[in-house]
Amino acid sequence: MALNRRQFLVGAGGLAAAATTMGLGACAPGSSGGSGSQGGGGGGGTNLALAFWGNPTRNKNTQAEIDAYMKANPGVTISGQPGEFNTYWDKLATQTAGGNAPDIIQMDMNYISEYGSRGALLDLSKVDVSKFVEGTVDSGKINGKLVGINAGINSALIFANPKVFEKAKMDLPDDKTWTWDQLIEVGAEVASKAGVSFGVASLMGSDALFGTFVRQHGKELFTENGLGFDVAEAQAWYDLMLKGQKAKAFGTPEQASEESSKVLDQSAIVVGTAAMQYYNSNQLEAVSAAAGQQLKMLRGASLAGKATERKTWYKASMLWSASAKTKNPDAAIAWINWFANSPEAANIDLAERGIPPNAEVLAAVKPKLSPAQQTVAKYISDIKSEVATTPIAPPPGGGTIATVLFRHGIDVLFGKTSSADGAQKFVDELKSNLQS
Amino acid sequence: MSAISELSTIHRAKAKTPEEKRLLAKEAGRDNKAGYLFLLPWLIGLVLIIGGPMIASLYLSFTNYSLIQAPKWVGLDNYLRMLSDPRLHKSLAVTFTYVIVGVPLQLIMALAVAMLLNEGMKGLPFYRSVFYLPSMLGSSVAIAVLWRQMFEVDGLVNQVLRKFGIPATNSWIGDPQYALWTIILLHVWTFGSPMVIFLAGLRQIPGMYYEAASVDGASKWAQFRKITLPLLSPIIFFNLVLQIINAFQAFTQAFVVSNGTGGPADSTLFYTLYLYQRGFVQFQMGYASAMAWLLVVIIAVFTAINFYFSKRWVFYGD
Amino acid sequence: MATPAETTVSLNGPAPQEAIHHRATGRDRVTSVIKHILLIAASVIMIYPLLWLVASSLRPTEVIFRTPGLWLNDLYVENYTKGWYSLSYPFGQYIINSFIVVIGAIAGNLFACTLAAYAFARLKFRLRGLWFAIMLLTLMLPFHVVVVPQYILFNALGFVNTFVPLILPKFLATDAFFVFLMVQFIRGIPRELDEAATIDGCGHWKIFSRVMLPLMGPAIATTAIFTFIWTWSDFFTPLIYLTDPIAYTVPVALRSFLDATAGSNWGAMFAMSVVTLIPLFLVFLFGQLFLVKGIATTGGK
């Protein structure tokens, strides 16, 4: 009797184990998996699941967009799956592993190649991007295939807190001509005159501004084959940070370390302890609201002192992708097409995700934008002559560059390693991340 | 009754003859039917829900698995890479420090407060709830934000220290040297769970033992040593074993306080936090699975040591 | 174990130790007052973060991080009144969801863990030691590496976007923590009681239900309280299994107030956190009463 029971249990356990491992294998691209759609309406028509990260405002906007689309396209049911940015990726990875990825996926530049280069994203070449501003389409291309449609243009820059500058009795710097050294000078001066901790905050961990720095040195962050820069550029960046720290422009190491884990509402420029801080253009409205005043946008610095040579680019604040295993590829493409090209969608979104890359749509919706968003739109069009070619998306393993850059930099700032050693470790770790 | 005592005498004398051995074997399986019947839900759960995934994760530890594509067999590659991974070594150091310092501190706190809140006094339910509250909040994002703020250069802790004349100019949360201590403190602050378990165990000790001891003139300390500790030992043992198991796997507090990064210069990179980064952020679930099984071995060793020594100081009623 | 001469079995008596402290001399009163003062001071330190949470929930978001300290000038109740409605559904929906999951989890744990614990602690069966070791082993594997295979399993069974993956495991005693806890408690109960019941002709089921369960009051209360609190606060499992916002539980809903990339509604998030703390606190307050019901019991004759 006992023997039979044991045999049964062992057998059942083996079966369960086999089932799970076979399930893992079955989730390779190409095999059928669930489309992950949980319909609100359900019966008969096409069902799509749409996953995105947001906030209460974006959640409401997106639901309104979904409703508008469903009204115009009866027979299509879309169910929204809102989430929160940090935990969104855990969920998406799990769903993808389970073959259950949502049909329409809001995507981020740091993750698009992880999914795109492994065949998890649908080819979106059927989406109409003809009216897109130049340079905004390429961010979504992985290995030549278009897998992400730009959902909002943004660009890396530096916000300035006018009240702090007033307190220091200084004018805003001329951001079209300033060099990195001048940036440090201005930062040091305003920090001491206004009595704030940071002249410029959050510079070291900014992968985008580091990217412009690297490109100004003639290299790239990433190439098709891996890392596009070397220890020398990394060391130059860390040396710049040390210089700024010594000049008391970038705050103490402790302050920099604390700042890195602060949430947006606590950040230095919002609470008034920084004169300037690295941010992305599409965050102007949110950060200004948190700070209680309209912040100003400053271009990043350049080696040569010319804004046209600072090698910035049009980033995508987020993109729309679709699952390669969706059961309704045409419906998913249709929705993405609608969002990218219809003024109706833009009228609801009101640039909350970023400036619409479709120039006609932008022109149509511009009068309805809030003053802050109009400022952002103007900035984006102003820098058109300054942007360089869009770099390729960070390859798999490259999405963590910002955290790795900051982590080794903090060691350098605290004096635990030299800038040369820190740069070496940073490059080594990044290379090993890219390889695995 | 007599058969039972007969068997136990045989057991104590260590079975020698085949006849005795057979009796003992039968004795060992005396409750087979009942045992497996009572155990059935757990067995089903083991087979269906835990066993399969556990074996799967062991299999995955020998693969490269990005979650997005099917796993690819790589043999011992992951385990070998673990040997030369500096962040892994760092995470082990961080975690060991946390276990060796944090677990005893928290348990002593828990036991002391449990004893305090066990005796008859007014307002007990209120105090118990108050001391348990931190555990209810301890892993929430809201508290993490506050905890970070408290330990900043100009945060509450330094402000209080300065009022006492101590020149406090460093950041506790931002300095790699001290960041881990803020997490250990957070762990000690949330001593509510072991405290409640101690309370439940203390409640189970019959009051008349203390009465009899008081009548005999025993001091409070002697009562503690001779009555409380031995009778509470199964519960102390439980808390010790489980707190160590949990401490090795500590994740949530480090995750929310450091915003998922592992703290300044990885000073709060707990082992499971690094595991999570490798698995979900870097899409290397195979490596993460290997890390997980290494942790199982480490924890199993510690648990086995605990069980081995428990025979010396844990006192069961049966 | 030194069995006292007296034997009384009183299952519903007052808490044992409280019977002792009846004399109150002057010195005892002073000690008591000092004790209370120390306890109150310690309590304030313990709950200072909670006080900060409540204070922040009554400030508008922009002000929260710029105002240190607890003092409130105004009471900004919009965090509560508007916060309740600012997600896809009124917050009550998420609280109800959490209650459903939690009650299912408690029922499951109480059912399955008591059974398994009785088997491990009192019954002799082959391979008992092995199963016990395996049970402990299940506690040692970090859940992050088990999550994906489990998800695949539940997905294959069609249980994604249901509460099944959140509740079913509890009915199968997957919370080894409570099994082990109860084992330790049962082992502290004298065997003489079992033997007495056996003499009276009870089989194992009767011993379990009539003798063991009533004596395991504190362990059962502890299990129920902890299951409630831990399941209520569980974030990751509901995150990955629940895709339809209408099914979200409280922790997932709280996260929805935040946006790392743009402004978060911290005020509302704190307010709703305070609101959801109330059930936890009440459960603990009442659960305590069962915890306190002591056992003034010793062996039978």
The structural domains of chain C, ordered by start, are: 88-256 (1.10.3720.10)
- pTM, rounded to two decimals: 0.87
The verdict on C67 touching A (C-beta cutoff 8 Å) is: no
Name the residue among C21, C225, C284 with its Cβ closest to that of B119. C21
What residue of A is the nearest CA neighbor of B31? Answer: A2
Q: What is the mean pLDDT of chain A?
A: 88
| Residue B15, pLDDT score | 58
In a domain, A12, yes or no: no
In a domain, B36, yes or no: no
| Residue C199, pLDDT score | 86
Q: What one-character-per-residue DSSP string does C244-257 give?
A: SGGG--HHHHHHTT
What residue of B is the nearest CA neighbor of A409? Answer: B265
Assess whether pLDDT exceeds 70 at residue C68.
Answer: yes
Assess whether pLDDT exceeds 80 at residue B30.
Answer: no
Chosen from C118, C140, C225, C256 to mutate, greatest number of chain B CBs within 10 A: C140
Assess whether pLDDT exceeds 70 at residue A27.
Answer: no
| Residue A141, pLDDT score | 93
Which spans in chain C are helix H? 26-57, 61-64, 78-81, 91-122, 128-140, 144-156, 164-171, 176-187, 191-199, 204-206, 213-215, 217-233, 236-241, 250-255, 266-292
Enclosing domain of residue A369: 46-152+315-384
Assess whether pLDDT exceeds 50 at residue C192.
Answer: yes
Model confidence band, residue B14 (pLDDT cutoffs 50, 70, 90): low
Determine contact, residues A394/A372, Cβ cutoff 8 Å: no
CATH code of B294's domain? 1.10.3720.10
Whole-angstrom CA distances from B62 to A207, A212, B71, B276 are 33, 40, 9, 17
The verdict on B189 touching C (C-beta cutoff 8 Å) is: yes
Candidate ranges B198-212, C147-161, C271-285; pick with highest mean pLDDT: C147-161
Chains that touch A (3 or more CB pairs under 8 A): B, C
User: Which tens digits make up the pLDDT trace of A284-301?
Assistant: 999 998 898 999 999 999
Min CA distance, C75 vs chain A (Å)?
A: 20
Do A323 and A225 belong to one domain? no
In a domain, B122, yes or no: yes
Assess whether pLDDT exceeds 50 at residue B307.
Answer: yes
In a domain, A35, yes or no: no
In a domain, A292, yes or no: yes
User: Which tens digits make up the pLDDT trace of A80-110?
Assistant: 999 999 899 999 999 999 999 999 999 999 9
- More reliable by pLDDT, A55 or A174: A174
In chain B, the number of structural domains is 1
Min CA distance, B175 vs chain C (Å)?
A: 21
In a domain, A40, yes or no: no
Q: What average pLDDT does range A227-240 have in this prediction?
A: 95
Rounded to whole angstroms, how far apart are CA atoms A82 and A59? Answer: 7
Rounded to whole angstroms, how far apart are CA atoms A247 and A184? Answer: 7
Do A201 and A164 belong to one domain? yes
Assess whether pLDDT exceeds 90 at residue A225.
Answer: no
Strands (E), A202-292: 222-223, 226-227, 274-280
Assess whether pLDDT exceeds 60 at residue C39.
Answer: yes
| Residue B3, pLDDT score | 42
Do A269 and A328 belong to one domain? no
C287 contact partners, CB below 8 Å, separation of at least 6: C221, C224, C225, C228
Q: Which of A353-357, B21-25, C108-112, C180-184 has the lowest mean pLDDT?
A: B21-25
Do A214 and A144 belong to one domain? no
Chains that touch C (3 or more CB pairs under 8 A): A, B
Name the residue among A53, A94, A286 with its Cβ closest to that of C147. A94
Which C residues, 265 through 284, put their C-beta within 8 Å of a C-beta on chain A? Answer: 265-266, 268
- More reliable by pLDDT, C214 or A312: A312
User: Which tens digits make up the pLDDT trace of A139-160?
Assistant: 899 988 999 999 999 999 999 9
The verdict on A56 touching C (C-beta cutoff 8 Å) is: yes
Q: What average pLDDT does range C108-122 have in this prediction?
A: 94
- Residues A87, C239: C-beta atoms closer than 8 Å: yes
User: Which tens digits make up the pLDDT trace of B121-161?
Assistant: 677 778 888 888 888 887 788 888 888 888 998 888 898 89
Chain B hits for C20, Cβ within 8 Å:
120, 207, 210-211, 214
Do A118 and A143 belong to one domain? yes
Do A298 and A172 belong to one domain? yes
In a domain, B6, yes or no: no
Do A338 and A355 belong to one domain? yes
| Residue B19, pLDDT score | 80
Q: What average pLDDT does range B249-266 have in this prediction?
A: 89
Look-up of token digits 């985008």: A208
Name the residue among B35, B42, B292 with its Cβ closest to that of C123. B35
Q: What average pLDDT does range A347-376 have in this prediction?
A: 93
Q: Indicate if the alpha-carbon torsion angle C57, C60, C62, C68 is positive or negative.
A: negative
User: Which tens digits make up the pLDDT trace of B277-291?
Assistant: 999 999 999 999 999
Do A275 and A204 belong to one domain? yes
Look-up of token digits 């390693």: A417
Q: What average pLDDT does range B43-49 have in this prediction?
A: 91
| Residue A147, pLDDT score | 95
Assess whether pLDDT exceeds 70 at residue B166.
Answer: yes
Assess whether pLDDT exceeds 80 at residue A39.
Answer: no
Assess whether pLDDT exceeds 50 at residue A379.
Answer: yes
Do A304 and A183 belong to one domain? yes
Assess whether pLDDT exceeds 80 at residue A434.
Answer: yes
The verdict on C206 touching B (C-beta cutoff 8 Å) is: no
Q: Angle of helix C217-233 relative to helix C266-292, nearest 10 degrees?
A: 170
Q: Which of A156-160, A173-177, B154-158, C128-132 has the lowest mean pLDDT?
A: B154-158
User: Which tens digits make up the pLDDT trace of A260-273?
Assistant: 988 888 899 999 99
Name the residue among A6, A24, A85 with its Cβ closest to that of C259. A85
Rounded to whole angstroms, how far apart are CA atoms B164 and B133? Answer: 28
Assess whether pLDDT exceeds 70 at residue C15.
Answer: no
In a domain, A6, yes or no: no
High-pLDDT (> 70) share of chain C, %: 88
- More reliable by pLDDT, B71 or B17: B71
Assess whether pLDDT exceeds 60 at residue A18.
Answer: no
Assess whether pLDDT exceeds 80 at residue A13.
Answer: no
Assess whether pLDDT exceeds 50 at residue B7.
Answer: no
Q: What average pLDDT does range B57-73 have in this prediction?
A: 94
What residue of B is the nearest CA neighbor of C292? Answer: B203
High-pLDDT (> 70) share of chain A, %: 90
| Residue A14, pLDDT score | 52
In a domain, B233, yes or no: yes
In a domain, A269, yes or no: yes
Do A305 and A321 belong to one domain? no
The verdict on C273 touching B (C-beta cutoff 8 Å) is: yes
Enclosing domain of residue B216: 79-313
CATH code of A169's domain? 3.40.190.10
What residue of B is the nearest CA neighbor of A255? Answer: B174
Name the residue among C53, C124, C281 with its Cβ closest to that of B31. C124
Q: Which of B85-89, C128-132, C207-211, C233-237 has the lowest mean pLDDT?
A: C207-211
What residue of A is the nearest CA neighbor of C258? Answer: A55
- Residues C160, A58: C-beta atoms closer than 8 Å: no
In a domain, B45, yes or no: no
Buried b (16+ CB within 10 A) or exposed e, C57-77: bbbebbebbeeeeeeeeeebe
In a domain, A211, yes or no: yes
Min CA distance, A22 vs chain B (Å)?
A: 9
Do A379 and A282 belong to one domain? no
The verdict on C298 touching B (C-beta cutoff 8 Å) is: yes
Do A298 and A408 belong to one domain? yes
| Residue B13, pLDDT score | 55
Q: Put residue C127 in one of left, alpha, beta given phi > 0 → left and psi -120 to 50 → alpha.
A: left
Model confidence band, residue C196 (pLDDT cutoffs 50, 70, 90): confident
In a domain, A201, yes or no: yes
